[in-house]
Chains A and B, each alone.
Chain A
Amino acid sequence: MGWTRKHLLTMQELDASEIVLLIDTAASLQEIATREIKKVPALRGKTIVNLFYEPSTRTRTSFEIAGKWLSADVINFASSGSSTTKGESFIDTAKNIAAMSPDVVIVRHSSAGAAALLARTLPCSIVNAGDGAHEHPTQALLDLLTIREKKAHFDGLHVAIVGDIAHSRVARSDIHGMRKLGMTVTVAGPPTLIPAFVQELGVKVSYRLEDAIRDVDVIMMLRLQHERMTNGLVPSLREYSRYWGLTLEKLAVHARPDVLIMHPGPVNRGIELSPEVADGPYSVILDQVAKGVAVRMGVLLLLAGSRGEAS
């Protein structure tokens, strides 16, 4: 089937065939990265605006490279130093940018629902590059593409997502995507970082790292934000790291030898992941980053390209 959506806002609203189409499209575009001249004309004459209201290096750069390799004109708008400092509201800024006729606006914002708000306000396509703790669909898609390349299939795989589930948009998007593709998901962390009724999303819950990583195919470690300590959700970094940090020793004792270690970045080295694990043989963290460009090319192509043309 073909792609019919105008926007990419959530993984929750996609069905399995749409997710597979996105991943297949991204997979077909990966080889562009290996070319001597990394450019195809697919989006020539298209204008893409990166509207980033939160600091981001990896995601913004990834979208920018994706757009440029597809020959689109990519404009970056970051919130600091622009009209937001003059008190202009998010919605006004977005309307002004829309008045300049972009084809796609990619939005990152600290408020859940920000992408949906733009989708119902602006005439162009909207890509959600992370809205608060709600969703981050392109991250989930690159996670899925990475898993498929390493494991060759999805059905029946078991993934443990470990850490601050409550505040993670990556966890939410991953949960929806993985469940729709037939994977089993366990979320794990101290109970203060596990959100209410999370089982309703179709996942299992574990409060012990050693139990959560046993017999799983993939371990997705999440970043622990430092403000979780000041809010009384975790007593100390030291304690968190001791009970929830992933080390080679814990992996050797409790995990399968072919387990994949993933992390959406940026990694707190020595907190949730020991450096030996982050850089070790199980880790596919840099594969994730590489896949990010392909996934974002795929998304932009499906939203802004002429239908079905891959390169």
Chain B
Amino acid sequence: MSLLVKNGRVIDPANNTDGVQDVLIAQGKIERVGKRLEAPVGAEVVDAARKIVCPGFIDIHVHLREPGHEYKETVATGTRAAAAGGFTAVACMANTTPVNDNRAVTDYILATARADGVVRVHPIGAVTRGLRGAELAELAELAEAGCVAFSDDGTCVMDAGLYRRAMEYVLPFGVPVISHAEDASLGRGFTMNEGVVSTELGLPGAPAAAEDVMVARDILLAELTGAHVHIAHLSTAGAVRLVRDGKSRGVRVTAEVTPHHLLLTEDAVRTFDPNTKMAPPLRTKRDTEALLEALADGTIDCVATDHAPHALAEKEGEFDQAAFGIVGLETAVALLLDRLVRPGLLPLATLVSRLSRDPARLLGLTGGSLAPGAPADVTILDPEIEWTVDPARFRSKSRNTPFGGSRLTGGPWMTIVGGKVVHTFGQRGAAVRAAAEGEASL
């Protein structure tokens, strides 16, 4: 079975391609990229005129919630949300129940992904047993089982000595340690950023320094150990400065930023909408400007959503009682196209790179490229479609987003994983539903 994507503008940063080309896919791999390719006999043809054809987007920070929190999300619903949002692969965090701190859980996630998933799923293992920050998980076996990184995301490993040992221990596996950089003592009891808005609202805040001191610590530990440290969800101008300095000194530090930390500030919390509550919290305009600059210049390596599904009951009541986090898979790409690329704040090719080539390199994944022989993971964007974010129509089980009702121009149009179309805009997921019902399979 082969597929020919014709007439699209192909942006493939890994191969320095940006122009109207055709992409021929066969046996689940990229066969050729070139001008006016002939469709082989029996090939399906997709007309991608006025569309943008990219290597499949990779979100290296999602919470699929399975096992243990299936009422929030499952591998099945989370990967459908990913496909609908233009992602062909996700890396899922370890804070499930039980925690992904042993091979049995990793195996379970991978088996569930094979059975129920529609995009590639890369598990991230816990650094410490039970995410308790006290003793190392069995990191070698987790790496062997397929974990692509290690993180206690959701909590910060406060014990610097233990974290140093984790960094050293994983050196032979060639995978990064991902830091949730948030000093627990500086941010104790916080619900939002510490600043003028928290003072007005009387809500306990975490200062930017709670993040900055941990980013500084982790960069120093990376320097000490030679390990690759990746900083999750960077949110402050100070952390940007530290990462930039670390990179300039040759430290193996990388970083990601979420769409909400790029697009929203603490001002959004004035509504007391629990969907503006996340960790790290929304910061200030000075921070969003620094983050955008860093994403553009490569100080920040990639965009990741920190897709954090929660049930309505956890996100509808009192602000200080609500759970942290928002969903992001189904809005991220479209928001960044509309709010950053369309106004000229970020070049389209840079955004494509930060969503495909760069996260693939960061985690050593095979995707992120349209080179012949690469897996045929392709994200096709329509820069002109106009639509309104309607959480009721999310594939995700959860609807906790502050972006509901946003009018957006541009978004994912088709998502192809291993040569199979797993999502098409307009058919509202017909292809995905077909796969779920067994009429087609990935």
Residue numbers of A with Cβ under 8 A of B are 12, 89-91, 109, 111-114, 116-117, 131-135, 167, 169, 172, 195-198, 200-201
Beyond the given A117-B317, A133-B202, A201-B199, please list 12 additional residue pairs across the A-B interface where CB-CB is below 8 A.
A89-B317, A91-B317, A112-B202, A112-B272, A132-B320, A134-B202, A135-B202, A169-B202, A172-B202, A196-B195, A196-B196, A201-B200
Contact of A196 with B207 in the complex, beta carbons under 8 Å? yes
Chain A residue, CB-CB nearest to B318: A111
B203 nearest CB across to chain A (Å): 5
List residues of B (194-233) whose CB comes within 8 Å of A's CBs.
194-196, 198-203, 205, 207
Residues of chain A within 8 A of B202, CB atoms compared? 112, 131-135, 167, 169, 172
Q: Which of B139-195 contact A (CB under 8 A)?
A: 194-195
Q: 24 A-B contacts, Cβ less than 8 Å apart?
A: A12-B200, A90-B317, A90-B318, A91-B316, A111-B319, A111-B320, A111-B321, A112-B203, A112-B272, A113-B201, A113-B203, A113-B272, A113-B318, A116-B271, A132-B320, A135-B202, A172-B202, A195-B199, A196-B198, A196-B207, A197-B195, A197-B196, A200-B196, A201-B199
- A-B contacts counted at CB < 8 A amount to 62
Residues of B within 8 A of A172 (CB): 200, 202
A191 to chain B, nearest CB (A): 14
Question: A196, B194: Cβ atoms under 8 Å?
Answer: yes
When the two chains form their complex, are residues B319 and A112 in contact, meaning their CB atoms are under 8 A apart? yes
Task: Give complex CA distance A112, B221 in Å.
Answer: 39
In Å, the complex CA distance between A172 and B201 comes to 9
Q: Which residue on B lies nearest to A195, using beta carbons?
A: B199
Q: Contact: A133 with B203, CB < 8 Å?
A: yes
Q: B316 contacts A132, CB within 8 Å?
A: no
**Residues B195 and A117 in contact, CB atoms below 8 Å apart:** no
In the complex, are the beta carbons of A195 and B198 less than 8 A apart? yes
Contacts of B203 in A (CB 8 A): 112-113, 132-134
**In the complex, how many angstroms separate the beta carbon of A120 from the nearest chain B beta carbon?**
9
Task: Please measure, in the bound complex, the distance between the C-alpha atom of A167 and the C-alpha atom of B205, giving whole angstroms.
Answer: 12
Establish whether residues A112 and B201, one from each chain, have CB atoms under 8 Å apart when the complex forms.
yes
Say yes or no: B317 contacts A196, CB within 8 Å. Answer: no
Q: Which residue of B has the minimal Cβ distance to A135? A: B202
- Taking a contact as CB atoms under 8 Å apart, the answer to whether B207 and A117 are in contact is no
Residues of chain A within 8 A of B392, CB atoms compared: none
Is B41 in contact with chain A by the CB < 8 A criterion? no
